[in-house]
């Protein structure tokens, strides 16, 4: 079983405004409320690709109920711990550019945190835990460490998509996959990377620090897959970008979906890139059929 963990889910409130005025009254030309949070996005794409999974994490209040209802409407299996405070609302303002305002998230009490840790008791060898997104401030930056410990104790694998210290601390525990974008890689090592060669050098450092596979996404400029010995590059399919929110999560979901079906690393890379781009070219997360359609446009080359 694949479990996605979203410690800080959200309703993504997508708001479109024309001729945005900073100090004035703006009227929306369109709005959309979507269940959000990185692990939840991974679950939704896995589900659309026909990969069974369970979404877990913390949900609370009327916003939490909305998120859970949306997931149930898509027949996604869930196991969220109920918390006292409301799940956050993240604003995604589209005004020609994309401006994001993400909430802090609810306070999680220790007994609620413990309840989530207990869910890991069901993990077993062959299971994969996908840990994605920010940690609510009340949980503290060590919480991912506690989840990883629980995961490894049961012989399961984990994927982690987070930034900074939380990511660095996870690497020695050998994550199956990490997926920084090239900006996150720059921040992680406090460097400025001028081309794909330099990006690959720093991506490799994550392998040296323990990651089993590294995907570096570069938005419209393609992606790299780094394994123990090899470096692969993929182009991105052609299309008109509508929404980049969740493109990275879709990429992880696509990769894990193919990989867990035993299709091998390169097919996983191809599905990952196609999933990211299909979401970038869609209003919401991509439909499964669209991802499949874009797969044939992804060319993978191996570097010498």
Ligand X SMILES: O=P(O)(O)OC[C@@]1(O)O[C@H](CO)[C@@H](O)[C@@H]1O
Using CB under 6 A, list all residues that contact ligand X. 8, 10, 12, 36-38, 41, 90, 102, 133-134, 245-246, 248-249
- The listed partner (ligand ATP, ligand X, none) that binds 134, CB under 5 to 8 Å by sort, is ligand X
For ligand X, the closer of residues 133 and 150 by Cβ is 133
For the CB of residue 268, give the shortest distance to ligand ATP in the complex, in Å.
13
Please check whether residue 169 is in contact with residue 205, taking contact to mean a CB–CB distance below 8 angstroms.
Answer: no
For ligand ATP, the closer of residues 150 and 246 by Cβ is 246
Catalytic residue, chosen from 12, 127, 161, 249, is: 249
- The listed partner (ligand ATP, ligand X, none) that binds 37, CB under 5 to 8 Å by sort, is ligand X
- The listed partner (ligand ATP, ligand X, none) that binds 128, CB under 5 to 8 Å by sort, is none
Q: In what order do the strands lie in the sheet with 88-95?
A: 28-36, 10-17, 88-95, 97-101
For the CB of residue 291, give the shortest distance to ligand ATP in the complex, in Å.
11
Please check whether residue 244 is in contact with residue 98, taking contact to mean a CB–CB distance below 8 angstroms.
Answer: yes
217 to 15, 163, 203, 235: CA distances (angstroms)? 26, 14, 11, 11
For ligand ATP, the closer of residues 127 and 233 by Cβ is 233
For ligand X, the closer of residues 45 and 49 by Cβ is 45
- The listed partner (ligand ATP, ligand X, none) that binds 280, CB under 5 to 8 Å by sort, is ligand ATP
For the CB of residue 105, give the shortest distance to ligand ATP in the complex, in Å.
17
User: In this structure, what DSSP letter does residue 156 have?
Assistant: -
Please check whether residue 4 is in contact with residue 55, taking contact to mean a CB–CB distance below 8 angstroms.
Answer: yes
In 154-197, which ranges are E strands? Answer: 157-161, 177-178
- Of 118, 130, 114, nearest to 42 by C-alpha is 130
For ligand X, the closer of residues 33 and 109 by Cβ is 33
249 catalytic? Reply is yes
Strands 214-217 and 28-36: unpaired
Please check whether residue 275 is in contact with residue 215, taking contact to mean a CB–CB distance below 8 angstroms.
Answer: no
Residue whose pair of structure tokens reads 């996404």 in the numeric block: 217
Task: State the residues that interact with ligand ATP by CB under 6 A.
Answer: 181, 217-220, 223, 236, 241, 244-249, 251, 273, 276-277, 280
With vertex at residue 205, the alpha carbon angle to CA 201 and CA 209, rounded to the nearest 5 degrees, is: 170
For the CB of residue 153, give the shortest distance to ligand ATP in the complex, in Å.
29
For the CB of residue 134, give the shortest distance to ligand ATP in the complex, in Å.
12
- The listed partner (ligand ATP, ligand X, none) that binds 241, CB under 5 to 8 Å by sort, is ligand ATP
CA atoms of 268 and 290, how far apart (whole Å): 16
**Sign of CA pseudo-dihedral 62, 67, 2, 169:** negative
- The listed partner (ligand ATP, ligand X, none) that binds 273, CB under 5 to 8 Å by sort, is ligand ATP
For ligand ATP, the closer of residues 11 and 108 by Cβ is 11
User: In this structure, what DSSP letter does residue 53 have?
Assistant: E
CA atoms of 86 and 5, how far apart (whole Å): 18
Q: Looking at the annotation, which residues are catalytic?
A: 249
């Amino acid at each position: 079983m694949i479990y996605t963990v979203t410690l800080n889910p959200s309703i993504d409130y997508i708001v479109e405004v024309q001729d945005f005025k900073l100090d004035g009254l703006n009227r929306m030309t369109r709005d959309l409320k979507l269940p959000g949070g990185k692990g939840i996005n991974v679950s939704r794409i896995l589900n659309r690709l026909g990969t069974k999974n369970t979404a877990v994490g913390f949900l609370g209040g009327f916003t939490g109920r909305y998120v859970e209802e949306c997931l149930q409407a898509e027949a996604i299996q869930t196991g969220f711990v109920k918390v006292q405070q409301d799940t956050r609302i993240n604003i995604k303002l589209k005004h020609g550019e994309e401006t994001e305002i993400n909430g802090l998230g609810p306070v999680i009490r220790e007994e609620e945190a413990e309840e989530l840790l207990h869910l890991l008791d069901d993990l077993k060898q062959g299971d994969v835990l996908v840990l994605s997104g920010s940690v609510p401030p009340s949980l503290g930056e060590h919480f991912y460490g506690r989840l990883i410990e629980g995961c490894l104790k049961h012989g399961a694998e984990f994927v982690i998509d987070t930034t900074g210290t939380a990511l660095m601390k996870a690497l020695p525990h050998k994550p199956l996959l990490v997926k920084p974008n090239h900006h996150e890689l720059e921040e992680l090592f406090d460097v400025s990377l001028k081309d794909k060669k330099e990006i690959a050098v720093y991506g490799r450092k994550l392998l040296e620090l323990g990651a089993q596979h590294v995907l570096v996404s570069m938005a419209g400029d393609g992606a790299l897959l780094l394994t123990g010995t090899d470096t692969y590059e993929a182009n991105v399919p052609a299309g008109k970008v509508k929404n980049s929110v969740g493109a990275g999560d879709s990429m992880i979901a696509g990769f894990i979906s193919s990989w867990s079906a035993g299709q091998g690393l390169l097919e996983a890379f191809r599905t990952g890139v196609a999933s990211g781009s299909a979401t970038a070219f869609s209003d919401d997360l991509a439909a499964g059929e669209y991802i499949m359609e874009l797969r044939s446009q992804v060319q993978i080359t191996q570097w010498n």
